[in-house]
Amino acid sequence: MSSTNNKIVIIGGVAGGASAAARARRLSEDAEIVMFERGPFVSFANCGLPYHVGGEIEQRSKLILQTPQSFNNRFNVDVRVQHEVIAIHRSDKQVRVKDLATGKEFLESYDALVYSPGAAPIVPPIAGIDNPLTFTLRNIPDMDRIIEQIDSRELKQVAVIGGGFIGLEMMEAFVHRGIKTTLVEALPQVMNSVDREMAGIVHQEIRSKGVDLKLNTKLTQISHNPAQQTLTLSLNDNESLDVDLLIMAIGVRPEVGLARDAGLEIGEFGGVLVNSQMQTNDPVIYAVGDAVQTKDLITGEQTLVPLAGPANRQGRIAADNILGHEAHYQATQATAICKVFDFAVGSTGKNEKQLKQLEIDYEKVFVHAASHAGYYPGAEIVSLKVLFEKSSGKLLGAQAVAKDGVDKRIDVLAVAIRAGMTIDELEHLELSYAPPYGSAKDLVNLAGFVGTNIIKGLVAPVHFDQMDAPADNQLILDVRTPNELKNTGCIEGAINIPVDELRQRASELPKDKEILVYCQVGLRGHVAYRMLTNLGYQAKNLIGGYRSYRLAKA
């Protein structure tokens, strides 16, 4: 260890900061390590907060992974909670600290500084938002305040603004508590990390649990009714809604005030700029976690992705570099997952909306198949979307929604994306198979089959958003059984010939029209498509079938 880095000061004691402190101590017994945390807790389970509100995690104490004392016992780190760093004096290598309990301020010197304050909930400047019944959720005191509301008075109706991770988790928590909940989202979908048609499954699930889901809806004004202890929310659809409590969960913003004031460079997305060693433009100041921008794995450009996994790794990497063990952060791919009642929704890499903005020439596949062998109990349909570059086949992103098996497929694809694999390589992945766990041809393999067929020209794809207004020279063919059409409906104007009759009845179809074939999920459609093409018809197959088509409208 270089003796010039003998004193390490850490701003923020949760994911990134605590990881940095623990790693630093493991690397050096004689470093002096001081960790300032503005709140009353260090190293708490911030991702678990909504689940304690909802009651799944019964004991509050389970969320407190370390105390200042236990952390000090284990790692000999001087942990000071309720101490807020209020300024960084770079020229003197000092921070100014305020003891929030006493109000006293003091200076603390550093040889190396780790900046890890996290990101703060965004509270938009809506008229009336400053009221005692509006809450955000970031830490344990926030959680305690919300639970206090639930426990101390009868909440009949609450609203959650924002359908991202925290908004969805809080929505679920209130439903678990038996409280009528409205979820308000300004966009046409929740979970903006996935594309609209994948979010359709989530919309169905949310509504099926009795939540009033308002998409394309903005909160415009709040009136506080102190006598009733309620808020009247005005929405941009001219409706209003009376609620007993309001959660603002529209997103988070990196906490960069201190860094900016100290002249550290801030990037275009509002996060602190760092190199791959997590160094800011001041080489003795490192920044990690939700407050920093990182390199995007897919584009190589800057990105801002506040997630716990990267924060933990970055803290470790900062400590390595401070103590002379060169280490580099390897770019962020935004792998994320969220539980929404019985479903999981996960994603990794870029979604289609982002690829459009980036003007990347992509193709996509959808597969809907069982999470494990369909004949073994408990299998659930997984809906998987995989995006890849048209020219090279390079994987760009993946999304999955299901009651089972989402995390596995997203993780498999996260590794494939990180390894730079192409869509055809998915075909060859050898994944674990026994009937309780998978299928001989896993969903990920199937995505490879479909994608490779597209690349090889063995299928001409058509997508769900191209089916509603067929051209005059197009004809829509539904190859499912009549019973399926009766049960689920069909695409307007489709004619029906079941795939197993198609070989005999192909002559009923015109050769001068393009036939847009579809089935339920795309598999029988592909068989029919191949048959028709081999028989000299012009055809396309609806990738993902009627299921993708319908989900886009859900």
- Strands of 61-197 (E only): list them: 78-81, 83-89, 94-99, 105-109, 112-115, 119-121, 134-135, 157-161, 180-184
**In terms of Cα–Cα distance, which of 12, 4, 437 is closest to 254?**
12
Question: Least distance from C-beta 287 to a copy of itself, angstroms?
Answer: 18
**Stretch 344-363 residues interacting with a copy of itself (CB under 8 A):** 344, 346, 348
What is the three-state SS of 362-375?
EEEEEEEEECCCCC
- Structural tokens at position 376: 């073994």
Q: Does 290 interact with a copy of itself (rule: CB under 8 A)?
A: no
Q: Does 415 interact with a copy of itself (rule: CB under 8 A)?
A: yes
Residue with tokens 């959660």: 247
Strands 94-99 and 105-109, sheet pairing:
antiparallel
Question: Least distance from C-beta 60 to a copy of itself, angstroms?
Answer: 10
**Paired strand residues for 232:** 223, 242
Determine which one of 47, 338, 490, 519 is catalytic: 47
Nearer to a copy of itself, 196 or 316 (CB): 316
> Does 47 qualify as catalytic in the annotation?
yes
Question: Least distance from C-beta 204 to a copy of itself, angstroms?
Answer: 20
Q: Does 511 interact with a copy of itself (rule: CB under 8 A)?
A: no
Question: Least distance from C-beta 223 to a copy of itself, angstroms?
Answer: 35
Q: Does 141 interact with a copy of itself (rule: CB under 8 A)?
A: no
Binding mask 461-500 for a copy of itself (x = CB under 8 A): --------------------------------------xx
Alpha-carbon dihedral 201, 204, 209, 214, rounded to 10 degrees: 110
Cβ atoms of residues 177 and 160 within 8 Å: no
DSSP per-residue codes, 32-56: EEEEEESSS-SSB-GGGHHHHHHTS
Among 147, 433, 474, 514, binds a copy of itself (CB under 8 A): 433
The radius of gyration of the chain's CA atoms, rounded to the nearest angstrom, is 27
**In terms of Cα–Cα distance, which of 231, 358, 315 is closest to 12?**
315
Count interface residues toward a copy of itself (CB under 8 A). 91
**In terms of Cα–Cα distance, which of 546, 539, 483, 543 is closest to 509?**
539
- Structural tokens at position 179: 């409280």
Question: Least distance from C-beta 127 to a copy of itself, angstroms?
Answer: 34
Interface segment toward a copy of itself; rule CB under 8 A; list 108-116, 336-344, 464-472, 545-553: 336-344
Among 164, 306, 438, 470, binds a copy of itself (CB under 8 A): 438
Nearer to a copy of itself, 97 or 517 (CB): 517
Among 122, 440, 471, 495, binds a copy of itself (CB under 8 A): 440
**Stretch 166-225 residues interacting with a copy of itself (CB under 8 A):** none
Interface segment toward a copy of itself; rule CB under 8 A; list 86-94, 192-200, 441-449, 470-478: 441-449
Active-site positions read 47
